[in-house]
């Protein structure tokens, strides 16, 4: 769908299921990375906003505190993973800072206490609820690796599949 837009371009976005959500324009024949997000967003919407299909969409931008609050509540109610807030005056920067920066990602975590039922390679453990395995959890480097039988508090985004994996 995006290939129908004339000229060269580089867009940033995320593939969710079968749909690509474009949220930034990095380049056309010109490099847009040094311009403000407001300018990049306006150009992204002008070039790609008219594409209306099941496989591609420009991610919606919402302005004003009350509109943002309502939008985030709608995302939560729809079971989405979260939202990203961007500084309209910021140029594009590569990567994700561990704190601060011109973009804030708000993930809609849930948490629960699980029992560690196995220790895996690569700083990960298998966890269970009521004796039923519900997935594997990566342990951050600033935490000790828990032993089998220990109860741990985990954060997860959603429950998936028939077996209820977290």
pLDDT in tens, 120-143: 988 999 999 988 899 999 998 999
Tokens 């395995």 map to which residue?
Answer: 133
Tokens 């910021």 map to which residue?
Answer: 90
Q: Pick the residue with more confidence: 97 or 140? A: 140
**Torsion sign across C-alpha atoms 105, 18, 68, 158:** negative
Q: How many helices (H) and strands (E) does the chain have?
A: 2, 9
In whole angstroms, give the CA distance from residue 134 to residue 64: 39
For the segment 138-159, the average pLDDT, to the nearest whole number, is: 90
In whole angstroms, give the CA distance from residue 127 to residue 161: 16
Q: pLDDT value at position 95? A: 73
pLDDT digits (tens, 9 = 90+) for 19-37: 999 999 999 999 999 999 9
Please say if the pLDDT value at position 17 is more than 90.
no
> Are the C-beta atoms of residues 77 and 31 closer than 8 Å to each other?
no
Q: What percent of the chain has pLDDT over 70?
A: 97
DSSP-based three-state secondary structure for 152: strand
Please say if the pLDDT value at position 99 is more than 80.
no
State residue 74 phi and psi, 5-degree precision.
Answer: -65, -40
H-only helix segments in the chain: 37-48, 65-77
């Amino acid at each position: 769908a995006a290939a129908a837009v004339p000229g060269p371009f580089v867009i940033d976005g995320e593939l969710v299921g079968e749909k690509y959500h474009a949220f930034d324009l990095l380049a056309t024949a010109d490099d847009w990375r040094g311009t403000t997000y407001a300018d990049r967003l306006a150009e992204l919407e002008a070039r790609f906003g008219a594409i209306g299909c099941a496989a591609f969409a420009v991610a919606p931008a919402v302005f004003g505190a009350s509109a943002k609050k309502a939008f985030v509540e709608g995302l939560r109610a729809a079971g989405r993973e979260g939202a990203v807030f961007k500084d309209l005056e910021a140029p594009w920067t590569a990567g994700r800072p561990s704190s601060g920066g011109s973009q804030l990602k708000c993930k809609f975590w849930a948490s629960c206490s699980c029992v560690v039922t196995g220790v895996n390679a690569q700083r990960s453990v298998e966890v269970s609820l009521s004796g039923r395995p519900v997935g594997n959890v990566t342990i951050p480097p600033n935490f000790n690796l828990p032993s089998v039988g220990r109860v741990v508090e985990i954060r997860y985004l959603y429950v998936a599949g028939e077996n209820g994996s977290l």
